[in-house]
Amino acid sequence: MNVIEVKDYQEMSKRAAAYILEKVRHSKKLNLGLATGGTPIGTYQNLIEDHNENHTSYKDVTTFNLDEYAGISGDDPNSYRYFMNHQLFNHIDIDKSNTYIPQGDACDLKKECTDYEKLVSDHGGVDLQILGIGSNGHIGFNEPGTSFESNTHIVELAQSTREANARYFSSFEDVPKKAVTMGIATIMKSREILLLISGENKKEALSQFLHNEVTESFPASILRNHPNVTIIADKAALANEKVYI
Ligand code: F6R
C-alpha cells in the first residue's frame, strides 16, 4: 500500500488528477471507476482544466460509478448521475453512452443490481477505481456490516451517512434511505484502487483503516488485502499518523 501525503485538499486533487491522467493518456482503453461526494470534486475540476488546456481525450475511456440513490431519476439534481454530468462528463469529450451509473429509479432494483454487476464484468472489470471513505469506514455505499463477498446490491443507508449527505438536500428527510452500490467484492476486483482522503473529519477513519484489523464492521479495511492500493491523504486527515509516515 502506497501512502502519499499532501499538504491539503487542493494538492490532493492535483495529485489525484495527475494520477488519473497518466492512465487516460497511456491506456489504449481504460475502465475508470468513479466516486461522487465532496472528496473527488477538486480532482474532477483538475481533469476539466487539463482537458481545456491540453485537450486530453476521454474517447477511449469507459466509466463505472460506484453507487446511486434509490428512487430518484438521473434528472434529479440530487442524483449521482446529475452530479457526474455536471461535475465532469459535460465538460470533457467522453461519450455519455460510455458512462455507467446504476439506475436508481429502475422499476426492478434487484435486477438493476445484477445487470450492473454483469455490465462491469462484461466490460472486463475496472482498471482504476477512485474511492472516498465515509467516517464510518464505508466505501461506495457499503455500510459497516456489509459482507466482503457482496456484489452490487441494494443498501439501507446508515443514519450517519444520511446526515453527512444531508448538506446536498433541502432537508434531512429528503435524503433517500436506500441506494444501489457496487459491493465490496465488486470493488476488490478492480485492478487498482486510488483512495482519496482529506480533512480532519476523516482522521479517525484513516487511523482505523491503517491500524485496525480487517473487519466487516469497518468496510474500507478490506482494501488492506488488495494488492494495488494508493492512498493520497492530506495533512489534516493524516494528523494522527506521524509515526506511520
Ligand atoms: C460516493 C461514495 C461514498 C463517498 C463517501 C465520502 O460515490 O461512494 O463512499 O466516497 O461517502 O464522501 P465525501 O467525499 O463527501 O466525504
Query: pLDDT tens across 171-186, in order?
Result: 999 999 999 999 999 9
Q: Which of 9, 12, 39 to mutate to test the pocket of ligand 1 (most atoms within 8 A of CB)?
A: 39
183 within domain boundaries = yes
220 contacts 137 by C-beta, under 8 angstroms: yes
The predicted pLDDT at position 241 comes to 86
Q: Counting beta carbons within 10 angstroms of the beta carbon of residue 138, is it exposed (0 to 12), middle (13 to 18) or buried (19 or more)?
A: buried
241 within domain boundaries = no
Q: Which domain does 184 fall in, by range? A: 2-134+142-234
- The secondary structure element, H or E, covering residue 22 is helix 9-26
242 within domain boundaries = no
Predicted confidence (pLDDT) at residue 244 exceeds the cutoff of 60: no
Q: Tens digits of per-residue pLDDT, 53-76?
A: 999 999 999 999 999 999 999 999
Span of 19-28, 120-129, 162-171 with lowest mean pLDDT: 162-171
pLDDT band for 242, please (50, 70, 90 cuts): low
Mean pLDDT within 87-93: 98
Q: Which ligand 1 atom minimizes the distance to the CA of 40?
A: 14
The cell numbers describing 21, all together, are 491522467
47 contacts 92 by C-beta, under 8 angstroms: yes
The alpha carbon of 134 and the centre of ligand 1 are apart by a number of angstroms equal to 6
% of the chain at pLDDT higher than 90: 96
Mean pLDDT within 209-224: 96
- The secondary structure element, H or E, covering residue 25 is helix 9-26
Q: Which of 67, 99, 133, 157 to mutate to test the pocket of ligand 1 (most atoms within 8 A of CB)?
A: 133
40 contacts 34 by C-beta, under 8 angstroms: yes
243 within domain boundaries = no
Q: Strand 128-131's sheet: what is its strand order?
A: 2-6, 229-234, 192-197, 128-131, 30-34, 61-65, 99-100
The alpha carbon of 65 and the centre of ligand 1 are apart by a number of angstroms equal to 11
Predicted confidence (pLDDT) at residue 169 exceeds the cutoff of 80: yes
How many C-beta atoms lie closer than 10 Å to residue 205's C-beta? Answer: 19
Whole-angstrom distance, CA of residue 1 vs CA of residue 244: 12
pLDDT band for 95, please (50, 70, 90 cuts): very high
The predicted pLDDT at position 141 comes to 96
Q: Counting beta carbons within 10 angstroms of the beta carbon of residue 196, is it exposed (0 to 12), middle (13 to 18) or buried (19 or more)?
A: buried
Greater pLDDT, 209 or 243: 209
The alpha carbon of 242 and the centre of ligand 1 are apart by a number of angstroms equal to 25
41 within domain boundaries = yes
94 within domain boundaries = yes
244 within domain boundaries = no
245 within domain boundaries = no
| DSSP codes joined into one string, 38-95 | STTHHHHHHHHHHHHHH----TTEEEEESEEETT--TTSTTSHHHHHHHHTGGGS---
The cell numbers describing 210, all together, are 491503517
Provide the CATH number for the domain around residue 51: 3.40.50.1360
Count of domains for the chain: 1
